[in-house]
A and B are shown apart, each in its own frame.
Chain A
Amino acid sequence: MTAVVSDQSAGQPAFVPGAPPPASLGADIWRGISRENPVLVQFLGMCPTMAVTNTLANGIAMGVATMFVLVGSGLLVSLFAKYIAHEVRITSYILIIATFVTLADLILAATFPDISKALGPFMPLIVANCLLLGRAEAFAAKVGPARAVADGVGMGLGFTLSLSLLSAIRELLGRGSLLGHDLLGPRFEPWVFMVMPPGGFLTLGIALLGLAGIIELRRRRAEGAS
C-alpha cells in the first residue's frame, strides 16, 4: 500500500529527467535563431519550408503562423505536461497543436484570404510539422511556462527568418519581384525554375553548402591561429 502511494508521488518529481540545462530567457530565444535554427541546422519542418517559399508573402505568413502555434502549444504543453499520462502524451500534444493550428488557419482565412488560398492545405498541414511535436516533447514538457514561451518565440523567429530568406531568394530570381513589387525591371527574364519544386531544394541546398563553407573556413582559420 505504501509502495503504491510513493509511486504516485514519484510521478511528479521535482527534477524532470532529460530536462534542458537552465538558461536565461534571452538565451532560450537566441538559441532558436542561431545555434539550433530549426531549418538551417536541425532540418525540422522541411515540408512547409519547401512548399510555401515560392513568394516572400507566403513564406512570412507560414513563419508567423508556425510561431503562433509554437508559442501557444508550448505554453499549454508546459502547463499540462505533469497531468498527462506518459502513454498518451504524444496524442495529447498533437491534439493541443491541432487546436492552435485550426485557430491560426481560421484567423488567416479571415484576415488574409488571398494568402490563405495560396497556402491551401499547407496551412492545416502545420500539425504534421515535426518541429512542433519535437519542441513539445523535447523542451516544453520539461520546463516552466515562461521558458516554453521563450523557446517558442525563438524557434518561431528562427523558422520565420529562414523561410523569409529562402522565399526572398526564390521570389526575386523566379519572378523578379519582392512582396509583389517588381524590382528587377522588364529586361530581367525570370528564372521560372526557382519558383518550381526543384528550385526549392536547390535554394536550400546551396544555402546549406554556403553555411558549411563558412563554418569550414572558420574552423581552418582557428586551426591556423592555434
Chain B
Amino acid sequence: MSNLAWIFVSTLLVNNFTLVMFLGLCSFFGVTAKIETAWRLGLANTFVLLLTAVGAWTLNTYVLQRTPFLRTIAFIVVVASGVQIVEMAVKKHFPVLFRQLGIYLPLITTNCAILGLALFQTARHYTLVESLVFAIGAGLGLTLALSLMASIRERIEVADVPVVARRMGLVLVVASCLSMAFMGFAGMGSAP
C-alpha cells in the first residue's frame, strides 16, 4: 500500500511528468492559453493514460515477452486506438467539449506523455495495479501542470511585457520557474 502511495506522490509531484520529466510539452505550450481548455484536456489525457496503462500492461505481459523489439510499434498502436475511442466517446457525449478541444484531441496520440507512460511502466516492471496508480498520478500531474501554466499565462496576457518577450521566450522562462518550484519536492527521494 505504501508502495502505491509512493508511486502516486512520486509521479504527481516529485517526478511530475511535464515539469520534471519533460513529457507532453507540446500540449503544455500549445493548449495552455485558457484555463478552461487546459484542465479539460488534462482530464481527457488522464483517461487516455488509464486506457493505455491497461492496454500496454496486458500486451507486454502476455504478448510481447518474446518480441521486445516490437514494443514501440505495439504501444503506439494501443495509444492511437485509445485516443480514437476517447475521441468518439467525447464527440457523442460531450459535443461542446469536442469543439473546444478541436485539433488537440487527436493530437493526444503524439503526446509523449502517453507513450512515455507505457515505456516507463515497462522499464520499471510495474504490476497492473501499480501501472494504474502510475497512470492516475501522471494524469493528475499533467492536469496540475497545465492548469498552473494556463492561470499564469492568462495573467501574462493582460500584463505589459517588453516586445521581445511577447512570444514563447517568456513562457519558457515562466516554465523554468514552475519547474524549479517542483524541484523542491526532489528532497522527498527518487522513484522506487
A-B interaction:
yes
Residues of A within 8 A of B (CB): 43-44, 46-47, 50-51, 90-91, 94-95, 98-99, 101-102, 105-106, 120-121, 124-125, 127-130, 133, 196-202, 204-206, 208-209, 211-213, 216
- CB pair B164–A47 under 8 Å, yes or no, is no
- CB pair A102–B73 under 8 Å, yes or no, is yes
Residue of B111, B114, B169 with most chain A CB atoms under a 10 A cut-off: B169
- Give the distance to chain A from B6, nearest Cβ to Cβ, in Å: 20
Known contacts A94-B109, A120-B123, A209-B164: A202-B172 contact under CB 8 Å: yes
- CB pair A212–B73 under 8 Å, yes or no, is no
- CB pair B112–A128 under 8 Å, yes or no, is yes
**A105 and B68 alpha carbons, distance in the complex (Å):** 12
Which of A90, A101, A201, A213 meets B179, CB within 8 Å? Answer: A201
- CB pair A46–B25 under 8 Å, yes or no, is yes
Known contacts A205-B169, A212-B169: A102-B72 contact under CB 8 Å: yes
Using a Cβ–Cβ cut-off of 8 Å, how many residues does chain B contribute to the interface with A? 47
Q: Which residues of B contact A91 (CB under 8 A)?
A: 77, 80
Known contacts A46-B29, A209-B169, A209-B170: A98-B73 contact under CB 8 Å: yes
- CB pair B112–A129 under 8 Å, yes or no, is yes
Q: Which residues of A contact B176 (CB under 8 A)?
A: 198-202, 205
**A119 and B24 alpha carbons, distance in the complex (Å):** 17
Chain B: which residue is nearest A94 at the CB level? B76
Which of B77, B110, B123, B180 meets A95, CB within 8 Å? Answer: B77
- CB pair B22–A212 under 8 Å, yes or no, is no
- CB pair B29–A198 under 8 Å, yes or no, is no
> With contacts A128-B112, A201-B173 known, what are 14 further pairs, Cβ within 8 A?
A46-B22, A47-B24, A50-B25, A105-B72, A127-B115, A128-B114, A128-B116, A130-B26, A130-B110, A198-B177, A201-B179, A205-B170, A206-B173, A212-B163
- Name the interface residues of B116-164: CB closer than 8 Å to any CB of A: 116, 119-120, 123, 163-164
**A94 and B179 alpha carbons, distance in the complex (Å):** 31
Which of A101, A121, A199 meets B116, CB within 8 Å? Answer: A121
Q: Is B183 part of the contact surface with A, judged by Cβ < 8 Å?
A: yes
- CB pair A121–B80 under 8 Å, yes or no, is no
**A interface secondary structure, majority:** helix
Q: Is B93 part of the contact surface with A, judged by Cβ < 8 Å?
A: no
- CB pair A121–B119 under 8 Å, yes or no, is yes
Q: Is B20 part of the contact surface with A, judged by Cβ < 8 Å?
A: yes
Chain A: which residue is nearest B24 at the CB level? A47
Q: Is B48 part of the contact surface with A, judged by Cβ < 8 Å?
A: no
Q: Which residues of A contact B168 (CB under 8 A)?
A: 43, 205, 208
- Give the distance to chain A from B37, nearest Cβ to Cβ, in Å: 18
Q: Which residues of A contact B62 (CB under 8 A)?
A: none
Known contacts A98-B72, A121-B119: A200-B22 contact under CB 8 Å: yes
Which of B19, B110, B120, B167 meets A212, CB within 8 Å? Answer: B167
